Amino acid sequence: MTTVTTPDGQLVSYVDHGGDGPVVLLLHSFLMDSSMWAPQVEAFGDRYRLVAVDERGHGGTPATGPFDHWDVARDALAVLDALEVDRAAVIGTSQGGFVALRMALLAPERVTALALLGTSGEPEDEQISAAYQQLAEVWIAQGPETVTEAVAKICLGEYDPSDWTPKWAAVEPDRLRLVMTALVGREGVLDRLAEVGVPVLVLHGTADLAYPVTKAEALVAALPRAELVLVEGGAHFLSLTHAADVNPHLERFLRAHA
């Protein structure tokens, strides 16, 4: 794990898996960290230089105050600056997709292609936002074990969560509130996606319990150069839970556009 400090003083942790291939930036999901990309590193890390970021408030990257996903996009761009990488393809799952879209809007000249998995360009539904915030408060008040099963079901479906639940249990209350506020308080960007002119692959699981397929369809309709691939039975964090189904599509896309 390597760290960089952004111009505004934010520490950002990342893993540069190295190699001489095209650079691909990897952006993980809510409550996860850069290690969730292990299946992709194993599958095609020998052909691409995969750089996985711990997003603000996750893994080794702290959150010391309120932030939004535009801030996280700037953090990711600062990692590319530190590596002296001018342009990269970006892959993001769920929250990582929110950040990837904002990178493409902030610095379109630096993003060559986007792959978005289990994500949305819309704000969080008000009722769902309230439910998630309540879940966070129950987590803090009564302990993570009271909600772990529900969180795992939403995020991972039938996938074994045992590698992740200890990490979730270690999240401090202040950090949990900050990352949850950023998640549920984000604004929509669908009305700006006509500005994203790069090729985009949208992958979405048919069994996604967080976002229905209509969220992916709305992304594709708003993006000028987007392709939709549905993964049958795919869960919300499908780059991890359904890597064997997802990786061939990612490799095909990267071969064409990275």
Model confidence at 233, pLDDT cuts 50, 70, 90, reads: very high
Mean pLDDT, the chain, rounded, equals: 96
What share of the chain in percent tops pLDDT 90? 97
CA distance 226 to 245: 19
pLDDT at residue number 58: 98
DSSP string, 67-87: --HHHHHHHHHHHHHHTT---
Length of the chain: 258
Structural tokens at position 72: 């996280």
Question: Which H/E stretch holds residue 205?
Answer: strand 200-205
What 3-state class would DSSP assign to 9? coil
Q: Give the strands of the sheet with 2-5, arranged side by side.
A: 2-5, 11-16, 49-53, 23-27, 88-93, 111-117, 200-205, 226-231
Considering only CA atoms, which of 112, 254, 95, 115 is closest in space to residue 186?
Answer: 95
In this predicted structure, what is the pLDDT of residue 140? 92
In this prediction, residue 34 carries a pLDDT of 98
pLDDT of residue 230: 98
pLDDT of residue 176: 95
Predicted local confidence at residue 137, as pLDDT: 93
Q: How many CB atoms lie within 10 A of CB 214?
A: 11
pLDDT the model gives residue 131 = 92
What are the tens digits of pLDDT across the range 90-101? 999 999 999 999
Give the pLDDT mean for 212-240. 98
pTM over 0.85: yes
